[in-house]
Amino acid sequence: MTVDRYIAVFYPLRYPQIMKSNLVKITVTFIWCISFVTGCLPLIWNNETPHVKNLPKCNILSIVSNIYIWSFVIPPAILTNVTILYVYLRVLFLKHRQRRRVFAVQICGKTSQYSKHDTKTTAVIGIIIFSSVFVLTPFLVTVILVTSGVVIKNAKLMCSVTYELSFINPMFTPVLFAWRNESFKTVLKTVMQKKISQVTSRFKRKRSEASEIMEFGSTTITSA
């Protein structure tokens, strides 16, 4: 997705020629196959022992082989972070360069307009970089240190915290990329209103049933 945006921004005229439908399908299929294979490897290639099996919690670094981590986890993670950081920083610099050119034209024409779109674009790119790079980096650094044999205080706790933190990125990525899209906001608003309406109606129905039960109980007691 990052490479797709890079091509769309820097090669807009050649984008339809480069990003053809067949190429996209082949690329997505290849990525899914590689991810599936590498993800299943730890099921048969691991350091599982009776001691590890009886542990109350599963610690991925104590089960997965260091060779696997240094072959299939760390290099792709570093490549992904570097690619995302490079692409979006280039997009950010390009945006600021175009903004300076537009501002220079406005000065020559003695007009000055403030565009909120510039601020929104900067905010979106900043959030994407933060969520994609700086959220994943702590876990990556922790894994590198632990697998390298560096002694870290509370290593298991740090691994657990950074591992959970790394899931923030895929959890919020769809929202980050679509939060300025009007169609997305309309659909999200409709879904939220529907859910709130369902919860409210359910609460009112439960409350009504409780009131009827209490009224029936009080009537029965009075009659008795």
Look at 132 and 162; give whichever has higher pLDDT. Answer: 162
Q: Report, as an integer, the average pLDDT of 196-210.
A: 85
Answer yes or no: is pLDDT of 116 > 60. no
pLDDT of the residue at 80:
83
Q: Report, as an integer, the average pLDDT of 128-153.
A: 79
Residue 164 C-alpha from the chain's centroid: 12
Answer yes or no: is pLDDT of 118 > 70. no
Answer yes or no: is pLDDT of 103 > 70. no
Quote the CA–CA distance of 200 and 194 in Å, as a whole number.
10
Residues 6 or more apart whose Cβ sits within 8 Å of residue 69: 61, 143, 147
Residue 189 in tokens: 């608003």
pLDDT confidence tier of residue 119, bands split at 50, 70 and 90:
low
Most confident of 159-173, 176-190, 192-206: 192-206
Answer yes or no: is pLDDT of 53 > 80. no
* Mean pLDDT, the chain, whole residue set: 76
pLDDT confidence tier of residue 29, bands split at 50, 70 and 90:
very high
pLDDT of the residue at 68:
85
Q: How many CB atoms lie within 10 A of CB 159?
A: 21
DSSP label of 69: I
Look at 201 and 134; give whichever has higher pLDDT. Answer: 201
Answer yes or no: is pLDDT of 126 > 80. no
Percent of the chain with pLDDT over 70: 74
Q: List, as own/partner pairs, every contact residues 170-175 make where C-beta atoms lie below 8 angstroms and the sequence separation is at least 24, other chains included.
A: 172/131, 173/131, 173/132
